[in-house]
Every structure is written in C-alpha cells, then in structure tokens.
Amino acid sequence: GVKVFLQKEFRNRFHRPLYLQTHPQRRCKMKKPELLLPAGSIETALAAFDGGADAVYCGLAKFNARERAVNFSFPQLRTLLERAKSEGKKVYITFNTLLKSSELSEAAQFLAELAKTPPDALIVQDPGVIQLVNKYFPFFSKIPELVIGSQNKLAPRFSLASTKEIY
C-alpha cells in the first residue's frame, strides 16, 4: 500500500519534464539567446548577418571605447540600419566611454544627431549618459555595460532601474 504509493509518487514527481513539475502559473518559456557580434564596417556587419548574427554592435567617431579604430560615420550607420531593419536584424551603438562634465553638451549634440535614425539600443557605460538619455532622448533603449563607472556630475542621480530591459 504505502510503498507502492510512494513509488508511484516518486515516479510521477521526478520522471516528468521539469516544466511539468512547476506550478502552471509559474511556467515560463526561455527566450532564445541573441547572437551579438562586433562590426567595424558595413561589410563586417553584413557578413555577421549572413553568418547568422541576430544583431551587431558598432561605434561611431566619438564616445566609444574604440575611438582610435575605424568607426562608422552617421551616413554609414543610416545605411546599415536600413539594411538591418529590412532583414529583421538589430544594430546597437556603443556609447561606452566615461564622460567628463565638460563633455556632456557635446555628447547631447551627438545623441541628437543619432536620434535622427535611432539604433535598436545604446550600450552605455556612464550612468551620467543614461541620465542624459533618459531626460532628453527617452525613446532610446539602453543596455548598461558590464562595468559601470562615472566621472561627471550626473552620475549621483543614477539607478539601474532607469535602464530599460530589452532582452
């Protein structure tokens, strides 16, 4: 009696797929991981898309950690964004340098130019930049970079709750 009941209960509980063992309202589907690759030019971005990438990230002439490398110009970025949208792909822009307070107005002008053809998201390192984007460009999605730091006066007002989860 009890032994058979326990054997059946064990079998029912532990020999079912994991998603059936959870409460029905707590079930969730796993999201497909996004394959994100770097792109230093339109050619490498298109090659990444052809190779199966879901998205690419790239930098512009200023305010990215690879400023000394060859980066995208605004016209090149517009071309890439149009092509990516037509293929159902995403383009993220790295805005991942620490800004000094004296650079905030220049960064705002740069973001205003970028807002004319907005990317799918900005990858941001500086909390002050996130504050700037939230205040003046709230339509930008933001991805906080793994390492967050700051050198400007806007950072004390920052919280990670101010970033929009896009994944």
Tens-digit pLDDT profile for residues 67-86: 777 889 999 999 999 999 99
Are 31 and 167 contacting, i.e. CB atoms less than 8 angstroms apart?
A: yes
Q: Which two tokens stand for residue 139?
A: 């339509």
State residue 10's pLDDT score. 56
State residue 48's pLDDT score. 95
Taking the chain, what is the end-to-end CA distance rounded to the nearest angstrom?
50
State the Rg of the chain over Cα. 22
State residue 21's pLDDT score. 46
Residues of the chain with pLDDT under 50: 16-21, 158-167
Beta bridge partners of 17: none
